[in-house]
Structure 1
Amino acid sequence: MFRVRQKLIRRAVVNQTRSRHAYPSKDVRRLFIEYFQNQHDHLFVPSSSVIPQRKGEGTYFTNAGMNQFKPLFLGAVPPGSLMANYKRVVNSQKCIRVGGKHNDLDDVGHDLSHHTFFEMLGNWSFGDYFKRESCKMALELLTDVYKLPRERLYFTYFHGDATLNLPPDIESQTIWLELGIPESQILPFGMKDNFWDMGDTGPCGPCTEIHYDHIGEGGGAKLVNMDSSDVVEIWNLVFMQYNRFEILFLRPLANHHVDTGLGLERLTAVLKGSKSNYDTDLFSPLFETIHDVSN
């Protein structure tokens, strides 16, 4: 018992040392929204319901921040509607991933970062800015506002797919290099990791992801996208360029859009210096209540 207690104390000291820029989850959310509202003229749009308004939208639950904006991606917004005026938007979307293309149920309980219910922070551009501005803002927010060290971040990009005649996203790779990211921290991946779509059909496109390295000794590259708790994906910047009609049939969208998703739970844990989302104020009150009730 004494050894266990000593181990817990050492772990707490390490976490406290790492957590010089730790924030409560409400401040993580607030800083994200204020950054895009105040510094980059984004309109705040509240989270939509986790229950889709219309049947046949491809999912039983709202499984991503993009769901409520699908008409904008497809150019199907009625003229004169409120959504028709959206150009730059920021929000925090409540999501449920049980079933469908992005089912997280099988991962819950097996790692420290997947949940069936979670909150996705997102910034959006509908035919306005695109890749360069999106990458620049993401890097600035993470390093200048949240104070994450650049050397702990890894950046992935889409390496292309011959079956769909999709070229590598060299533009995203080049942007990260021009923003000062070393080539060793920029990694190519395929359709599974770096091409995003909501479901089997609908808006989709290549993405560039940002991963955080908890180890920080320069060896994190080999753990990116390896389901390791040592290197965790925190932000996905999706560049909506296509509409998928069938598995092998993509048609370019009339306009290019930006759809990003930053996991509130994951970033809160990272800023606390913890590998576990459960070690945050988003979960600890629930566990304390369970302990009190169950003795």
Structure 2
Amino acid sequence: EFVPSSPIVPIGDDTLLFANAGMNQFKDVFVGLTQPQYRRVVNSQKCLRVSGKHNDLEEVGKDTYHHTFFEMLGNWSFDDYFKAEAIEWAWQLLTKVWGIEPDSLWATVFQGDTEDSSPPDSDAKSLWPKVTGIPHEKVLFGGKKDNFWEMGDTGPCGPCSEIHIDLGPEMCGMKETRGHRCAVNAGCGRFIELWNLVFIQYNRDAHGELVPLSAKYVDTGAGLERIAAVLQKKRSNYDTDLFMPIIDCISEISGHKYTSKLHNQIDNAFRVISDHIRSLVFAISD
């Protein structure tokens, strides 16, 4: 079932200044306060990340793929399908429907955490090659920062599987950084996260213990702007038709030309201004 985006300014949720993820409007389902209206849901959620845990404000303009406002494409399962289906369907959409080259994709799974006794996601590690055909060596273990989702200090949580795309060595924006090596989650523009599959299967109690949930959930998020850049074969999200009309107007008004370069003060300003204009328009309209 397609569920429309909730407003950027959340209604009835005083814990958030702005909607920052697709799961916000389903939070009461995850914590057991309400029953889901549907077992399977898809949507495109308007998100604004300018503060708090999810804050992309300081990254905007410096790279090709961060924004304060973006649309998060998502699919959810409320105690219906789980890891195998979520992984297989994400892969099929990326490679079969959208035609992204399978050899360019990598996957990550949770490696576990000894500090809080979080177990590794062995299920996802074995499922990725089994249901997609991706080589075992391209399924990488990742730490808690990138591969474990938690709503807060307590409550529903679970391991994540990220899907990354290798855009080629020429997209690295850290070539001048001493000791840098291009790799998944290494921070350069060569490897970009396209999709995050969250498997909510635990509840963390007040003692920090992980208790398996009786009902399991899938919560996924893919950035529309990043998908658009890949499908339009652009080197940057800002080069897509989502941003170029705004950038062209800025160029006409300012008299400066946008060259799509990184580490360039004028181009950085183009990206910041176009991003902030977009954010303001959507926020004010809501």
Matching of residues 1-295 of structure 1 within 5 Å: 43-57=1-15, 59-77=16-34, 84-179=36-131, 180-215=133-168, 223-244=183-204, 248-295=208-255
Taking a change above 3 Å as real, the CA distance of residues 111 and 200 of structure 1, as seen in their structure-2 partners, is farther
Displacement after TM superposition at 1:54 (Å): 2.4
Displacement after TM superposition at 1:266 (Å): 0.4
Which range moved further: 65-74 or 221-230? 221-230
Q: Distance in 2 between matches of 1:266 and 1:197?
A: 24
- What code does the residue aligned with 1:149 have? E
Taking a change above 3 Å as real, the CA distance of residues 103 and 92 of structure 1, as seen in their structure-2 partners, is same
Displacement after TM superposition at 1:290 (Å): 1.6
Q: Distance in 2 between matches of 1:66 and 1:247?
A: 25
TM-score normalised by length of structure 2: 0.80
Aligned residues of 2:121 and 2:159 also touching (Cα < 8 A): yes
Displacement after TM superposition at 1:98 (Å): 1.1
Q: Distance in 2 between matches of 1:246 and 1:105?
A: 32
Aligned residues of 1:202 and 1:244 also touching (Cα < 8 A): yes
Aligned residues of 1:242 and 1:251 also touching (Cα < 8 A): yes
Displacement after TM superposition at 1:72 (Å): 1.1
Question: Helix, strand or coil: the match of 1:289?
Answer: helix
- Residue of structure 2 equivalent to 1:23: none
Taking a change above 3 Å as real, the CA distance of residues 269 and 167 of structure 1, as seen in their structure-2 partners, is same
Aligned residues of 1:95 and 1:117 also touching (Cα < 8 A): yes
- What code does the residue aligned with 2:199 have? F
Aligned residues of 2:109 and 2:160 also touching (Cα < 8 A): yes
Structure 2: 5+ residue runs without aligned partners? Answer: 171-180, 256-286
Aligned residue pairs, count: 244
Which range moved further: 197-206 or 142-151? 197-206
RMSD, matched Cα: 2.0
- Residue of structure 1 equivalent to 2:262: none
Aligned residues of 2:118 and 2:210 also touching (Cα < 8 A): no
Displacement after TM superposition at 1:197 (Å): 2.7
Question: Helix, strand or coil: the match of 1:44?
Answer: coil
Q: Distance in 2 between matches of 1:247 and 1:191?
A: 19
Q: Distance in 2 between matches of 1:68 and 1:146?
A: 28
- What code does the residue aligned with 1:258 have? V
Question: Helix, strand or coil: the match of 2:84?
Answer: helix
- What code does the residue aligned with 1:262 have? A
Q: Distance in 1 between matches of 2:183 and 2:7?
A: 35
Aligned residues of 1:98 and 1:116 also touching (Cα < 8 A): yes
Aligned residues of 1:90 and 1:123 also touching (Cα < 8 A): yes
Matched residues, percent identical? 54
Question: Helix, strand or coil: the match of 2:250?
Answer: helix
Q: Distance in 2 between matches of 1:117 and 1:247?
A: 36
Aligned residues of 2:182 and 2:190 also touching (Cα < 8 A): no
After the TM superposition, list the runs of 4 or more consecutive aligned residues in structure 1 that deviate by more than 6 angstroms: none
Structure 1: 5+ residue runs without aligned partners? Answer: 1-42, 79-83
